Each structure stands twice: as structure tokens, then as C-alpha cells.
Structure 1
């Protein structure tokens, strides 16, 4: 693996070089790797990082421009949070959009006719390779949810788009993928209306 850094003043791409890697911890959800590396300055070092599968976040909008939000206890942050539906990309998912379809249905019981990619988020670059794929889902219809055992506390709410933006503005919707989806969509709406 080589990681590029562009030195604009010289026009040269400087890379990190991985000499060796070892897995120091493995779980069903992620691995921790320890890499022997050569830094861009030529020095030898060790880089420890988490290798994780991707995830998805879904901005589901109904015909009344209401955002589908979930409210659930988030163990790693020790509290209940507002966030958009989403979850991990499983090996059985053919693509991130397939994972998004599955997660929306599992968490909310909703299906969507139209799917549009909004972008990707790299949430913790120095710590992990994790990528969150963000999608807009519209043309919603009801189905059945299939919550996993650890999600029985999840509650689904529909709030006006502007109210969801206000949650982001007040810091009450701290999930990066959720905030990005709402802000990117709000910016797109501003651009279209200009």
C-alpha cells in the first residue's frame, strides 16, 4: 500500500510505503493492523490502524419532505442519539446501495423507488480506512422492519427537513454521515433555487 501526499510547491507526489503488516486483533466487525512503514520523510515507523468494512447512511425523504430519523442508544458514545437509518455493508450485499436498501428496510420497514448517491465520508482517516456511503432515498412505501437483537430500542420518527437541519445546527445530530447527508442536500437545494 502506498498513500500519496501531494507537495504542491514542487509538484511531486510523496508516498508512505508499507513494508510489512500484521493483524494484532480480529473480530467479526473489524481488524487492528500494525504496519511497518517508511514515512514520506524517509523515517521508519509503526502505524497501527483499524481496517473496517464500509457502512451506509440513508437520507429517506417522504412525499411531505419529512426526514426519516432513528433514535437509539449508541453504545460507543454512551447515549441516545438522533441519526439517519444505516449500518454496515455486509459480505452478502452486492454493493453499498444494496446495503442501503437492506438497512432502510430492516430499521424502518420502508422501501424506496429512487436511490441517489450523495457522497462518501471518511470519518477517522488517521485511525481507520472506514468509508460511509451516503444515499438519498425517495418514493417511500411501507413494508416490514426486521430489527436485529441489539436494535430493539430503535425508534423511527419523521420530522420536517428544516427541523432535521436544526438538529444538526444545534449539535443534536452528531453522526457524521447523517449530518453530511442533510447539509449536502440543503446546499444542493440552495444551488437549485439560485
Structure 2
């Protein structure tokens, strides 16, 4: 078994993340240690992909979207004035997919106008989280007992504390995260939760 892919245990079943696929494996009663997630507190960078929208409603929404410098964020629009945007996601790919999905509810041929990303090279060996997720993660770190923190790339989160062991804490955090994700106004079907931290 390649333990470098070990991520979490749900109800005693090991979960592996290999690329974009979640593979359930053999039953274990423990959860492997995970590295601390990475949150960038410094500058962010606006990357323009095409001209800013000119239609009144889309232009106003774009101006409001620009007011935040939080990452990962994306804004999409089409030639008809349909638009969609997201802010404070945990990955650039998911931010782009989210903005396009919301924009294309207007039946348009949407394209990304701009994205906001951290102005640094991100670590490849740690889970990157945005400011929305980090706010809850910092609160979670103060909690007692066996605890776990789960999040999805769209910023949905769930955490648990004071459980009897790591496996139960991880299972609870996953459940809470999925509940949060599915209760959003427009849940993205391609965003899934995963445990990114367990302690002690």
C-alpha cells in the first residue's frame, strides 16, 4: 500500500486520493498524520484573461467582485451579459469551474474574465486553503480532544472535536462538511469534501 496517498478513514474504510479519484480501500482503525494546511496571508495577484464586462449589470457585479483581494476567486461572463463569480475557494481550478457553472445557468457561452490567486509559488506537499476556510480552521485548532477538520475545494467545511479516537473524529468532520456543501444554495456536484487535518 502506498501510504503517501492515505488521506482519511470514514467508518473504518481507508480513503485514498489519487489524482481526482477517490478510492476506498481496506479497513483500518486509524488515520494517518497529515501535514498542516497552508494559508497565504500575503499579497494576491489579479490575472486578467479577457476584457472586463461592459454590460451594466455584469460590470457592476465585476466591480464588486474586484473589491475583495481574497484567493482563490474567479469571475466569468458571456457576450449576452450573463455572469457568475466565486470567492475564497481552496483551489484555482474549482474557482474557475464554479464561476463558469454559475454563469452558464443563463444559457450563455461563458468564459473566465479574471482570477485572483496568491502572489507566491504554492507548496506542492500541503493542502492550500483560502481565508474563508482558514477562519474556521483557526477556531478548530483551539478545540479539545480527538478532532478533525474537513473541507471541499468550494470552501465548504466541517469539523469535529472531543471524539474517542481519530477515526470517529474524521468520519464526523466528513459528514458535517458534506452536509454544509449540500445545503448551499447551489451545490457544485464536482466539489467533494476531504479531511485535511486530524489531532492529536
TM-score, structure 2 normalization: 0.25
Q: Which structure has more helix as a fraction of its residues?
A: 2
Q: Which structure has the larger Rg?
A: 1
Q: Which structure has more strand as a fraction of its residues?
A: 1
